[in-house]
Amino acid sequence: MTSWRASSGSGARPGEDRAPNASEAGAGRHTPGRVGMRGIVKRHGSFTALAGIDLDIAPGEFFALLGPSGSGKTTTLRILAGLEPPTAGTVVLDGEDVTAREPGARDVAMVFQSYALYPHMTVFDNIAFPLRMIATPQHEVERAVRDAAAKVHIDHLLARRPGQLSGGQQQRCALARAIVRKPRLFLLDEPLSNLDAKLRLETRVELRKLQRALGVTTVYVTHDQEEAMTIADRVAVFMEGRIVQVGRPQDIFARPASAIVAAFIGSPPMNLLPAEVHDGLLKVAGVDVPLARPLGANGPVTLGVRPAALRIADRGLPARVYLIENLGDTTIVDLDVAGQVIKLRTEQPPALHEGDAVHVAFAPDAMHVFERDSGARRDV
């Protein structure tokens, strides 16, 4: 996926629909927080953690780095923060090359996965720390700390120490420490991963609101695709040290660039089945499937269909009901198609039993076709 350039003018760009935020924060002046990464490579000995990352993030954008563990998303964030030097490539913030700059000289704030609160200081002192390091007058520190604490609803806990806070409160304290000095860039490294499921959902919403209100460019690392899809303006999907797709969540969902991305996004993710193109027809599990458009050259491909796009029908691929998972409002039906289990999601509980022989069908325009070898999307 090509990324758009900072210099490529103000045409149709992904950040366009959030223009109100930018003007709110910048009030007409140039909004800081434009991020560029050019050809970032990171090697640890013979291991390549990042194999050439190019990224452009617009001011005020909420940008998620999504990928499984070890895919290089956290390394990318750390290089952006200046905590690790890249082996090659440049980091550009607001048009300036900051690759060689110390973390403290980049005007970025980070929330660590472990929160990294200073355990010997009170919440107040934790939040005040970044201000005191630049010799802010005491009355201003006082005001800014209370302001930041109030934004994340911990203003009643300022006298406590981090050890006396709950996990959620610690997380807020770390957030307050990041927002207190109004940096041009927030870096969040899996900030919700240490919270329990319910709190995670609540905090996710609040985080999004807070970011909108502050209008600060935010780079957010997560391995949770649902989190990335719901919270971010745009998402970069990382696989094995590369960005395999960049785009708005709905675009990535609708048109995954490769079979790997398709298998990573969605819950449950897209079903993938081996198929064969021959003479304008798609052969899956021994059945010829009707096509909406011509499919290009003959050869082996991978067919992808989202679980929600599948339905039980009179005709279609022969399948056997393998397992029925009732989730209350939806039901997931595991189907055995030619020895491979695929998942069907439906909101009407189907009158099926395990072991039933059925047929499963899908609309021609719900098909995603990928090259079998490279996994690349075959645009149909």
Q: Structure tokens of 367?
A: 């098909």
DSSP 97-134: E-TTS-GGGTTEEEE-TT----TTS-HHHHHHHHHHTT
Whichever of 56 and 84 has its CB closer to another protein, that residue is: 84
3-state class (DSSP) for residue 316: coil
Out of 9, 11, 45, 163, the residue judged to bind another protein by CB under 8 A: 163
Amino acid sitting at position 120: H
Range in contact with another protein (rule: CB under 8 A) among 36-44, 109-117, 204-212, 313-321: 109-117
Task: Give the binding-site size for another protein (rule: CB under 8 A).
Answer: 24
Indicate which single residue of 39, 104, 299, 349 sits in contact with another protein (rule: CB under 8 A): 104
Q: Measured from the CB atom, is 103 or 350 closer to another protein?
A: 103
Q: Does 134 participate in binding another protein (rule CB under 8 A)? A: yes
CA separation for the pair 210, 201 (Å, rounded)? 14
- 116 binds another protein per the rule CB under 8 A: yes
The residue range among 5-13, 125-133, 247-255, 363-371 that interacts with another protein, by the rule CB under 8 A, is 125-133
Tokens encoding 128: 């005040």
Of 169 and 346, CB closest to another protein: 169
Give the footprint of another protein on residues 58-87 (CB under 8 A). 81-83
d(CA 367, CA 345): 16
With binding defined as CB under 8 A, does residue 295 bind another protein?
no
Q: Does 43 bind another protein (CB under 8 A)?
A: no
Nearer to another protein, 28 or 119 (CB): 119
For the chain, helix (H) and strand (E) counts, in that order, are 9, 20
Return the SS3 of 48: strand
Q: If you count them, how many residues does the chain have? A: 380
Cis-peptide into 268, omega within 30 deg: yes
Binding site for another protein (CB under 8 A): 81-83, 102-105, 108-110, 112, 114, 116, 118-120, 129-130, 133-134, 161-163, 177
